[in-house]
Amino acid sequence: MLRPSADKNGDTASPVVAKEAEFRLDGRASGTAGSTPELFFCRDLEGYGWCVRKGDYLNVGLGRFHPRSLPAATARFVAFLEATGRIPPHFPWRWRGHSYAVNAAPSRPMIEEGVVLIGDAAGLANPQSGEGIRQAIESGLLAADTIVAADGQFTQDRLQPYADAVRARFGDAPLSGAVARLVPDAVKALVAGQLLRVPAFVKRVVIDDWFLHSRQPALS
């Protein structure tokens, strides 16, 4: 993972950086990309790419924990998609970039007087995969409950139940990211490459735990 640097507020959360593009496929490209969403994991498990067909549109992108490696990794990913026929070669598109923090120690503040942060803004994305759709939806629901209960009095103590509920739901920010930064990149790449060859690890850990959160019950 990227070694974080603290901002003026003392926030040291590790960021995910990503580039994505969505474009309409013309008639000659209608055979590219299947209807099944695909994920492609980087060999070092420091990021993943996606290729998702949405009717006549295609969304592709790549996210990583290492900002400096993103351009080269994206170029390799695009070359792979072209070589395997998933996207048309040399297709013109416009990349869009974004970044966000994952759930990593130390936790970032989620509330202030009159303010609640949800989803990526609160740094709730999974620290292993960078995925955060479920966390964004559920934290939004928890925030809505707290806002309604506050009844127009949005003081910090009235908003505190939201922060408590989020920590109870997603747990305290793990130290796994800090520990992982102590492991040499060469070692991580070797271990990750071996793990990705084990179907049970990919299914039960990467897909079920890191992305689908299938072991966690639905928010009541």
Range of the domain at 181: 111-186
Kindly tell me if the per-residue pLDDT of 206 is higher than 90. no
Task: Find tokens 């603290």 and name the residue.
Answer: 6
Domain check: are 48 and 95 in the same one?
yes
* pLDDT band at residue 191 under the 50/70/90 scheme: confident
- Say if 22 falls within a structural domain: yes
Kindly tell me if the per-residue pLDDT of 216 is higher than 50. yes
Kindly tell me if the per-residue pLDDT of 7 is higher than 50. no
Q: E strands, the chain, where?
A: 15-24, 38-41, 47-54, 57-64, 96-101, 111-112, 115-116
Kindly tell me if the per-residue pLDDT of 178 is higher than 50. no
Task: Find tokens 């103590």 and name the residue.
Answer: 157
- Say if 161 falls within a structural domain: yes
Residues 33-55: tens digit of each pLDDT? 567 888 898 877 788 999 988 88
- Give the pLDDT confidence score for residue 214 in this predicted structure: 83
Give CA–CA dist 1/192, Å, rounded: 13
Domain check: are 76 and 118 in the same one?
no
Domain check: are 152 and 87 in the same one?
no
- Give the pLDDT confidence score for residue 219 in this predicted structure: 87
Residues in the chain, total: 220
- Say if 2 falls within a structural domain: no
Kindly tell me if the per-residue pLDDT of 116 is higher than 90. yes
Q: 137 vs 55, which has greater pLDDT? A: 137
Number of domains composing the chain: 2
- Say if 6 falls within a structural domain: no
Count of alpha carbons within 13 angstroms of residue 15, beta-carbon side: 16
- Give the pLDDT confidence score for residue 31 in this predicted structure: 53
When pLDDT is averaged across residues 101-114 and rounded to a whole number, the result is 83
Residues 19-37: tens digit of each pLDDT? 999 988 776 554 555 678 8
* pLDDT band at residue 175 under the 50/70/90 scheme: very low
- Give the pLDDT confidence score for residue 148 in this predicted structure: 97
CATH value at residue 43: 3.30.310
